[in-house]
Amino acid sequence: MDFRHTMKGRRALSAVAITAGLLLTVAGCGGGGDGESEKEGSTPSAPAKSSGNGDASDSKEPAADSALAEVKGENGLTLAVTSAKRAEGGFVTVEGTVTNNTDNIWIAGNWRGDERELAKNGASIAGATLIDQKGKKKYFILRDTSGRCLCTQFSGGVQQGATATWFAQFPAPPADTTQVDFLVGSMPPATIELSEGE
């Protein structure tokens, strides 16, 4: 009699252990983990805000629906604006990509701007401006004390067929201005919506 009770007890414990093992296996495969796999498949984060160089020229172009605006001009260049965010401190950071569909390497020669102070900013997006149509104001790119723009410099240019990321920082328009035109070089104006930074 004792032997039968012992066997029943062992079977019950075995059944509980197997059930617990199966539950853990299903939970582990169920994708309810810590979200790392979901993060890996998400949209890439915005480009780093450094005075970037052409090394980013082999980065992938973001999907067209993620762009705030896209304009084409200058013999095959495509400019996309992917982000325009206000930040604490009274400035706006605009980010995007430029794709070189021309026949040669592109060095951003006329994107530097005509101002004498910007002469040290060759091969950059230093000549970019924001136009506030509502407030009838033009905002020039921010600079440091040595006259360097707070923007991307395309060191070495952008190779034919390549895409490079860029950023540029401007003084922020008034809070009630939500839409501005982004202008650089001889590219057509790109109308973009400003958003609040996170």
**Residue 129 to residue 147: CA distance in whole angstroms:** 16
Distance of alpha carbon 181 from its chain centroid, rounded?
Answer: 19
- Asked whether the beta carbons of 75 and 110 are under 8 A apart, the reply is no
**Residue 138 is encoded by which pair of tokens?**
């033009």
For the chain (198 residues), the mean pLDDT of every run of 10, in chain order, is: 52 51 45 43 39 43 70 90 94 96 89 80 90 95 90 91 96 95 94 88
Regarding beta strands 91-100 and 163-171, do their DSSP bridges make them parallel or antiparallel, or are they unpaired?
antiparallel
**Can you name the residues that pair with 95 across neighbouring β-strands?**
83, 167
* Strand duo 195-196 + 163-171: pairing: unpaired
Choose which CATH entry (3.40.720, 2.40.160, 2.60.40, 1.10.287) describes domain 54-196.
Answer: 2.60.40
Please give the torsion angle defined by the CA atoms of residues 150, 156, 158 and 161, in that order, rounded to the nearest 10 degrees.
-160
Whole-number pLDDT of residue 198 = 63
In the chain, the amino acid numbered 67 is A
| Residue 160 confidence (pLDDT) | 93
pTM of the model: 0.66
Give the per-residue pLDDT at 110.
83
Q: What is the pLDDT of residue 25?
A: 44
End-to-end C-alpha distance for the chain, whole angstroms: 71
